[in-house]
Amino acid sequence: MTPPITERFEISLNTSVGQITTAVDVPTGFVPITSIVPLMRRLGEEAQALDVARLAEQGRVPSCQKGCAACCRMLVPLSVPEAFAVHDWVRSRPAEQQGRIVARFAEAKVRLLAKGVWQQLSELCEVSDHTSDEVADEVNHRYYALRMACPFLEEEACTIYDERPAACRELLVTSPADQCDDLIANPVETVPTPMRISTVLGLLWQDLSCSSTRLIPLPLALDWAKSHARDNDQMWRGTQLFDQALDKAWRFLSQSFSDGDKAAGG
């Protein structure tokens, strides 16, 4: 297969913890929205690395290690582009692995239906406006109370680690790892997230699709993406997608700076 033609973008973004300066190769042809997901995740990770380095100078380092999967019992929200990316990744797996993953998603659905949580999660997918914090917190607590492992978890290891959602990448703690066994009862110290990539991708999809911003709970991602397959078939010029995504990132960072200034002055 002929590799896609790309254009190199030299990027400089100011965040609350420093400046990101990097270069990425962006496809110039027509591509699906999922093609932009790894590029934006990379920017998010580079922004977070600045904060990790700053905290390390204070003697605070992330306690997250391979095999620590306490956070894999939390409800993970995906932007629409990430939901499509997860669905495409599963379909790209060998048949045996794909079968195991799909079976775990099916088991999760049965359990969530039995506990009355599936319908609440489904409603979050389809809301036409911003979900209130109270509603989101209630659903998160009900889900977390089940201590249900992520469908991508096998023997306490993430099988989708290299392609894991932005929300998973952005959750790092510097408090002792054993405190994560009960995130409701135990206070944990998290590493701040300078740029939430799921929010940036969600805003990008909102503009492209002329729809409302929504987040897809990970257990519903395969079902949701399958039922919206036509949206996933749409194509845009890669450079246009990336340029619009950068604009959303810049707006997100600008709002963060503004909110920080208000808090400092308040």
Residue 132 in this model has a pLDDT that exceeds 80: no
Q: Which residues are 13's β-sheet partners?
A: 20
Question: pLDDT class for 35, splitting at 50, 70, 90?
Answer: very high
Residue 265 in this model has a pLDDT that exceeds 60: no
How far the first Cα of the chain sits from its last, in Å, is 57
The per-residue pLDDT for 182 is 83
Contact 44, 224 (CB under 8 A): no
Residue 43 in this model has a pLDDT that exceeds 80: yes
Contact 200, 40 (CB under 8 A): yes
Residue 17 in this model has a pLDDT that exceeds 70: yes
Residue 257 in this model has a pLDDT that exceeds 70: no
The per-residue pLDDT for 216 is 94
User: Which residues lie closer than 8 Å to 256 by C-beta, 6 or more apart?
Assistant: 15, 16, 194, 195
Angle at 84 between CA 78 and CA 85, to 5 degrees: 85
The per-residue pLDDT for 32 is 96
Tens of pLDDT, residue by residue over 233-243, are 999 999 999 99
The per-residue pLDDT for 128 is 52
Compute the distance between CA of residue 240 and CA of residue 234 in angstroms, rounded to an integer. Answer: 14
Residue 43 burial (C-beta neighbours within 10 Å; 0-12, 13-18, 19+): buried
By C-alpha distance, which of 10, 40, 49 is closest to 194? 49
Tens of pLDDT, residue by residue over 180-224, are 888 778 888 888 888 999 999 999 999 999 887 788 999 999 999
Compute the distance between CA of residue 228 and CA of residue 265 in angstroms, rounded to an integer. Answer: 45
By C-alpha distance, which of 237, 69, 46 is closest to 161? 69
Residue 133 in this model has a pLDDT that exceeds 90: no
Tens of pLDDT, residue by residue over 47-83, are 999 999 999 999 898 888 877 888 899 999 999 999 9
Residue 135 in this model has a pLDDT that exceeds 80: no
Q: What is the mean pLDDT of the chain?
A: 89
* Mean pLDDT score, 19-26: 92
* Mean pLDDT score, 103-130: 89
Tens of pLDDT, residue by residue over 148-185, are 999 999 988 999 999 999 999 999 898 888 888 887 78
Angle at 196 between CA 194 and CA 197, to 5 degrees: 125
For 156, left (φ over 0), alpha (ψ -120 to 50), or beta?
left
